[in-house]
């Protein structure tokens, strides 16, 4: 269920093991290939895409970054991933490009992937013969008999609510701010991402290509795009990214604007009968640590291994342990994302005391090697095994 990174990569990993699956997606191919989301891939995510033959374009068009900058109190400090983690790095390559590569691989292999399905319901999940009922793109009612159902249909999908409420526990925190995301036609303003703490709010400078840059600004979660005319956007970005080093942001034509709400969320367990949840269907992180897409990849790697052990060796233990195995990494990423978010954003109830605490934390992260290693290890991604 779902042709996001979780569903498409799971289907890809299973196909390579000779395990058949059908991917059902409510949106069109054009829509999923054009939706702007994450941009940072952990080393482990890059490795999986390369090892399974879908990393060729990423290696050509993506950008390897060996660190990030933290900017606060007008000064910029580099966190050197390569040096602090023993050679690990990240790849800046947009999520919708990963989607395009996975969709192409699936269609080239002639494997089933249905777009534009509607009225999806899950049946008999607690039995050995679960079913998915849906309407295909032509409007015909269909029923799919499954061994297992992978709920990879995102936070607003139907999989998680299909688990009876008494069988699941949900943990959640909604943040009193969102991110205003921009796509700008301009040359890169920086060689590595800049995460900026400022009393007017957080700002982030990322990139997409030599001609297109990705920028984010902390905003009110209820803000609408029309409240952010170009002049206001540039004024805020210049103010929040101000520094004493002579660096300036290069302005350009704004191609796209959008608001992202921010929450932390986990459901436990990530399984009910023959339904296994993966990715945003099971958990959400605020985007500050760039973990959402990478966690989805980590989940489906564990799930693909468990399903392979089941079909190849008749071993059920890995499937039984799926939720516990996945949740251990999920909670680590939840903590990291919450910590990065708390350290870098302005909160409504901010007091001068809280502001000073944030600056003390940033000062520590950029002066203590132990603390910098903690950030670097989490950002590049903990080993998958």
Q: Could you say which of 158, 193, 306, 344 contacts ligand FAD (CB under 6 A)?
A: 158
Per CB under 6 A, 214 contacts ligand DHB:
yes
Per CB under 6 A, 333 contacts ligand DHB:
no
Per CB under 6 A, 287 contacts ligand DHB:
yes
β-partners of residue 68 are 79
What does the DSSP 8-state code read for residue 347?
Answer: P
Per CB under 6 A, 32 contacts ligand FAD:
yes
Per CB under 6 A, 39 contacts ligand DHB:
yes
Question: Quick one: which of 97, 88, 82, 86 has its CA closest to 38?
Answer: 97
Per CB under 6 A, 38 contacts ligand DHB:
yes
Count of C-beta atoms within a 10 Å radius of residue 113: 20
β-partners of residue 272 are 275
Q: Could you say which of 291, 329, 345, 346 contacts ligand FAD (CB under 6 A)?
A: 291
β-partners of residue 80 are 67
Per CB under 6 A, 380 contacts ligand DHB:
no
Per CB under 6 A, 296 contacts ligand FAD:
yes
Per CB under 6 A, 40 contacts ligand DHB:
yes
Q: Is 216 helix (H, G, I), strand (E, B) or coil?
A: strand
Least Å from the CB of residue 181 to ligand DHB: 7
Q: Is 257 helix (H, G, I), strand (E, B) or coil?
A: strand
Size of the site for ligand FAD (CB under 6 A): 30
- Which one of ligand FAD, ligand DHB, none is in contact with 288 (Cβ closer than 5 to 8 A by kind)? ligand DHB
Catalytic residues: 65, 195, 287, 291, 379
Over its C-alpha atoms, the chain yields an Rg (Å, rounded) of 21
- Which one of ligand FAD, ligand DHB, none is in contact with 6 (Cβ closer than 5 to 8 A by kind)? ligand FAD
Q: Is 75 helix (H, G, I), strand (E, B) or coil?
A: strand
Least Å from the CB of residue 258 to ligand FAD: 7
Question: Quick one: which of 319, 21, 305 has its CA closest to 152?
Answer: 21
Per CB under 6 A, 3 contacts ligand FAD:
yes
Q: Which stretch binds ligand FAD (CB under 6 A): 26-34, 169-177, 307-315, 339-347?
A: 26-34
b/e burial code for range 226-253 (CB count within 10 A of at least 16 → b)? eebeeeebbebbeebbebeeeeebeebe
Q: Residue 111 is inside which H or E element, if any?
A: none
Place of tokens 């436990």: 268
d(C-alpha 48, C-alpha 219), whole Å: 35
Q: Kindly identify the residues of this chain, within the stretch 154-213, that bind ligand DHB according to CB under 6 A.
A: 193, 204, 206
Question: Quick one: which of 214, 233, 361, 200 has its CA closest to 287?
Answer: 214
Least Å from the CB of residue 287 to ligand DHB: 3
- Give residues in contact with ligand FAD (CB under 6 A): 1-7, 24-27, 32, 37-38, 95, 120, 152-154, 157-158, 260, 279-280, 287, 290-293, 296
- Give residues in contact with ligand DHB (CB under 6 A): 38-40, 193, 204, 206, 214, 287-288, 290
């Amino acid at each position: 269920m779902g042709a996001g990174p979780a569903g498409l990569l799971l289907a890809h990993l299973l196909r390579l093991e000779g395990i058949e699956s059908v991917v059902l997606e409510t949106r069109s191919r054009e829509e999923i290939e054009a939706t702007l989301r994450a941009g940072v891939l952990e080393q482990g995510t890059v490795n999986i895409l390369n090892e399974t033959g879908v990393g060729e374009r990423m290696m050509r068009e993506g950008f390897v970054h060996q660190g990030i900058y933290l900017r606060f109190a007008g000064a910029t400090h580099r966190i050197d991933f390569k040096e602090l983690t023993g050679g690990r790095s990240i790849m800046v390559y947009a999520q919708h490009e990963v989607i395009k590569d996975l969709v192409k691989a699936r269609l080239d292999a002639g494997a089933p992937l249905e777009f534009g399905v509607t009225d999806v319901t899950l049946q008999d999940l607690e039995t050995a013969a679960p079913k998915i009922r849906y309407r295909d793109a032509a409007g015909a009612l269909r029923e799919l008999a499954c061994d297992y159902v992978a709920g990879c249909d995102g936070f607003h999908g139907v999989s998680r609510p299909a688990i009876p409420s008494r069988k699941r526990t949900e943990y959640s925190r909604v943040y009193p701010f969102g991110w205003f995301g921009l796509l700008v036609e301009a040359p890169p303003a920086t060689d590595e991402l800049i995460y900026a703490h400022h009393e007017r709010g957080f700002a982030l400078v990322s990139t997409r290509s030599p001609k297109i840059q990705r920028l984010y600004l902390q905003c009110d979660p209820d803000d609408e795009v029309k409240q952010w005319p170009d002049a206001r956007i540039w004024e805020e970005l210049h103010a929040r990214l101000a520094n004493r080093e002579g660096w300036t942001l290069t302005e350009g034509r704004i191609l796209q604007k959008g608001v992202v709400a921010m929450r932390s969320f986990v459901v436990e367990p990530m399984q009910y009968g023959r339904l296994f949840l993966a990715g945003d269907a099971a958990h959400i992180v605020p985007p500050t640590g760039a973990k959402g897409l990478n966690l989805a990849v980590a989940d489906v790697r564990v799930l693909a291994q468990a399903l392979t052990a089941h079909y190849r060796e008749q071993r059920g233990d890995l499937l039984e342990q799926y939720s516990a195995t996945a949740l251990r990494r999920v909670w680590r990423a939840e903590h990291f994302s919450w910590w990065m978010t708390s350290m870098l954003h302005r909160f409504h109830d901010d007091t001068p005391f809280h502001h000073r605490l944030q600056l003390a934390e940033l000062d520590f992260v950029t002066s203590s090697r132990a603390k910098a290693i903690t950030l670097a290890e989490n950002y590049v991604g903990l080993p998958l095994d």
